[in-house]
Amino acid sequence: MPDSTTSLPDRVGAFDALIIGAGFSGLYQLHCLRDRLGLSARVLEAGDGVGGTWYWNRYPGARCDSESHSYSYYFSEELLKEWEWSERYPEQPEILRYLNHVADRFDLRRDIRFGTRVTEARYDAAANRWHVSTEAGERFTAKFLITAVGCLSTANVPDIPGLDGFSGRWYHTGQWPREGVDFAGKRVGLIGTGSTGIQAAPVIAEAAAHLTVFQRTANYSVPARNAPLTPEFLRWAKDSSADLRRVMHSTTNGHPFTISERSALDATPEERRAAYEAAWEKGGLQFRAAFRDILTDKAANDTAAEFIRAKIREIVKDPETAAKLTNFDHPFAAKRPPIDTSYFEAFNRDNVSLVDVRASPIERITPRGVKTRDAEYGLDIIVFATGFDAMTGPLLKIDIRGRDGVPLREAWEAGPRTYLGLQVAGFPNLFTITGPGSPSVLCNMPVAIEQHVEWITGCIAHMQERGLERIEAEPDAADRWVEHVNEAADATLLPQASSSWYLGANVPGKPRVFMPYAGGMARYRGICDDVAAKGYEGFALSD
Ligand code: NA7
């Protein structure tokens, strides 16, 4: 279909499918719909380039926590063979280069419209079309609307009084300036000690005159043990792609390692220590895999927590700082567990200090810096590593209205309700890639994304073959799924981290609902395949 939209703002572009977002999800979805099904499809992307999360998160130290050989698309053998990662964990610029390579290799750019922020999407039942509007006033229509907006793309800047009057500069890590930030000679305050703050702190500490880390919740972290990849490893990863794919598809969280079948409680203290030592030395997210019950049994979890606490006390020389850093209020990995490169070591530097803002809360930002209950900290730069309005935020930021004009915001007033994380009852032909209720953030994201994109593509192909025009989740099926998502979460320790973004607890006023599906990626894939095999059970299909 010719592009009728490039030059004239108010012109309507009509497509078979519109995809919102050009990150990992949107790129692959475009490839599938356009090149495999032959549909006319257009990606609408707010940024000026591809990359999604990796386009916006350019903060110092930004790196993926999944290992590079698994943080890749696996749909194309040729792509797997030709791309060479340089390090165990890919850094943001390298991931961005990878996604640009993918966009070029599959000739995707011609169907992506950059600098185009979608503000509204309305379903017109009579025409069975989605009408999509952008910030610039452009309008598009399509039969299918697919959100590929990411789970962590709506920055959460806390509403701390006085920020407007701060005389220095401030930044959120998820909206980092392209030109970078010069920390030389500056007093920097870093608020937040999630994965992002933990990655950024040691890098900022090297450049800044002084770094003050404001910690509200002490966080566990395990060394990443990042290193350059050897030619032997790269060859092995390429030669083993079929095995790696199989392992990633068979595990709970889509990573290329398996979880031990042993309980931490069956091991002797010596065996346990040896297993944790080995996992600590190996580094990375697979620390969680040392025993099978770390995430399901509090007593087992306590053994991991105690091991990490002891390690931090060994690393951090000042006992008072070590005590603040290990004052955990949640089980290990009940919040997304960070992995780090010299995070705890950074607190041994003369130019780094830690402020416990749980003990002495931040009261306001003053023109000079941050004022807690007990002191004022003079700062030139404040970095907010305060996370995101996760999972629902990017969807609710768009005014999405389904059948009878019902806003998604209203349908989700009490928290997100989806069927399989893929569709919402009352919103026909809308698919939500890695939506709430799917494993997404509990999983190595490209694995979760490929599964969703392929399922959606299969579903649309099924409809095309049978002349079906409309698919919509049945309310009963969505209710049952929401119940199952809750049961799956309750079978783990995850809901015990009461301030976690998995629960929406980091955003004031957000309903507390456990959003991702904790039942495991492999099990989820089986459920989705089964639903499709049964003729899309739980979905109403019509012509
Ligand atoms: P996270 O994991 O949501 O971490 C945000 C951090 O910011 C966390 O330590 C919060 O403390 C802290 N925070 C948030 N608001 C405040 C205020 N008002 N005052 C002080 N501290 C605050 O976001 P990240 O960007 O680190 O990581 C997001 C995901 O990206 C990560 O999980 C990976 O999947 C990749 P809290 O714990 O809420 O007390």
pLDDT beyond 50 at 536: yes
Q: What is the pLDDT of residue 12?
A: 72
What are 477's two structure tokens? Answer: 């099926």
What residue type is 185 in one-letter code? Answer: G
Q: Please choose, from the candidates 472, 481, 455, 475, the residue with its C-alpha nearest in 3D space to the C-alpha of residue 541.
A: 472
Q: In ligand 1, which atom is closest to the CA atom of 192?
A: 7
Q: Please compute the mean of the pLDDT values over residues 129-138 and round it to a whole number.
A: 97
pLDDT beyond 90 at 5: no
Q: In ligand 1, which atom is closest to the CA atom of 216?
A: 39
CA of 391 from ligand 1 middle (Å) equals: 14
Q: What is the pLDDT of residue 367?
A: 98
> How far, in Å, CA of 76 to CA of 261, rounded?
32
Which of 506, 507, 512, 515 should be mutated for ligand 1, with most atoms under 8 A from CB?
A: 506
**149-186 pLDDT per residue, tens:** 999 989 999 999 999 999 999 999 999 999 999 999 99
Which of 64, 159, 195, 355 should be mutated for ligand 1, with most atoms under 8 A from CB?
A: 195
- DSSP letter string, 79-133: HHHH----BSS-BHHHHHHHHHHHHHHTT-GGGEE-S--EEEEEEETTTTEEEEE
| pLDDT band of 504, cuts 50, 70, 90 | very high
Report whether residue 218 contacts ligand 1, using a CB cutoff of 6 Å. no
What are 219's two structure tokens? Answer: 């966080």
pLDDT beyond 60 at 48: yes
Report whether residue 18 contacts ligand 1, using a CB cutoff of 6 Å. no
Q: Please compute the mean of the pLDDT values over residues 44-49 and round it to a whole number.
A: 98
What domains are defined for the chain? 12-154+390-542 (3.50.50.60), 163-229+250-384 (no CATH)
pLDDT beyond 80 at 19: yes
Q: Going by CA atoms, what residue is nearest to atom 37 of ligand 1?
A: 217
What residue type is 193 in one-letter code? Answer: T
Q: Going by CA atoms, what residue is nearest to atom 18 of ligand 1?
A: 158
Report whether residue 387 contacts ligand 1, using a CB cutoff of 6 Å. yes
Q: In ligand 1, which atom is closest to the CA atom of 160?
A: 18
Q: What is the pLDDT of residue 277?
A: 98
> How far, in Å, CA of 499 to CA of 386, rounded?
12
**188-235 pLDDT per residue, tens:** 999 999 999 999 999 999 999 999 999 999 999 999 999 999 999 999
CA of 31 from ligand 1 middle (Å) equals: 34
Whether residue 524 contacts residue 253, with contact meaning beta carbons closer than 8 Å, is answered with no
Whole-number average pLDDT of the chain: 96
Q: In ligand 1, which atom is closest to the CA atom of 173?
A: 25
Q: CB atoms < 10 A from the CB of 3, how many?
A: 13
Length of the chain: 543
CA of 498 from ligand 1 middle (Å) equals: 13
Q: Please choose, from the candidates 378, 454, 374, 412, the residue with its C-alpha nearest in 3D space to the C-alpha of residue 37.
A: 454
CA of 166 from ligand 1 middle (Å) equals: 22
Q: Please compute the mean of the pLDDT values over residues 306-325 and round it to a whole number.
A: 98
Q: Going by CA atoms, what residue is nearest to atom 12 of ligand 1?
A: 192
**pTM to 2 decimal places:** 0.96
CA of 126 from ligand 1 middle (Å) equals: 44
Q: In ligand 1, which atom is closest to the CA atom of 386?
A: 7
What residue type is 180 in one-letter code? Answer: G
Whether residue 379 contacts residue 168, with contact meaning beta carbons closer than 8 Å, is answered with yes
Q: Please compute the mean of the pLDDT values over residues 439-465 and round it to a whole number.
A: 98
CA of 95 from ligand 1 middle (Å) equals: 22
Q: In ligand 1, which atom is closest to the CA atom of 199?
A: 26
Percent of the chain with pLDDT over 70: 98
CA of 383 from ligand 1 middle (Å) equals: 12
CA of 224 from ligand 1 middle (Å) equals: 19
Q: In ligand 1, which atom is closest to the CA atom of 198?
A: 26
| pLDDT band of 306, cuts 50, 70, 90 | very high
Report whether residue 386 contacts ligand 1, using a CB cutoff of 6 Å. yes
**50-97 pLDDT per residue, tens:** 999 999 999 999 999 999 999 999 999 999 999 999 999 999 999 999
> How far, in Å, CA of 416 to CA of 492, rounded?
20
Report whether residue 421 contacts ligand 1, using a CB cutoff of 6 Å. no
Q: What is the pLDDT of residue 11?
A: 58
pLDDT beyond 70 at 373: yes
Report whether residue 301 contacts ligand 1, using a CB cutoff of 6 Å. no
pLDDT beyond 80 at 310: yes
Q: Please choose, from the candidates 336, 337, 339, the residue with its C-alpha nearest in 3D space to the C-alpha of residue 391.
A: 336
Report whether residue 121 contacts ligand 1, using a CB cutoff of 6 Å. no
Report whether residue 152 contacts ligand 1, using a CB cutoff of 6 Å. yes
Q: In ligand 1, which atom is closest to the CA atom of 357?
A: 20
**469-503 pLDDT per residue, tens:** 999 999 999 999 999 999 999 999 999 998 899 99
Q: Going by CA atoms, what residue is nearest to atom 4 of ligand 1?
A: 194
Which of 216, 327, 373, 383 should be mutated for ligand 1, with most atoms under 8 A from CB?
A: 216
Whether residue 295 contacts residue 262, with contact meaning beta carbons closer than 8 Å, is answered with no
- DSSP letter string, 368-408: SEEEESS-EEE-SEEEE---B--TTHHHHTSEEE-GGG-BH
5 or 299, which is more confident?
A: 299
CA of 336 from ligand 1 middle (Å) equals: 10
Which of 151, 157, 176, 196 should be mutated for ligand 1, with most atoms under 8 A from CB?
A: 196
Report whether residue 195 contacts ligand 1, using a CB cutoff of 6 Å. yes
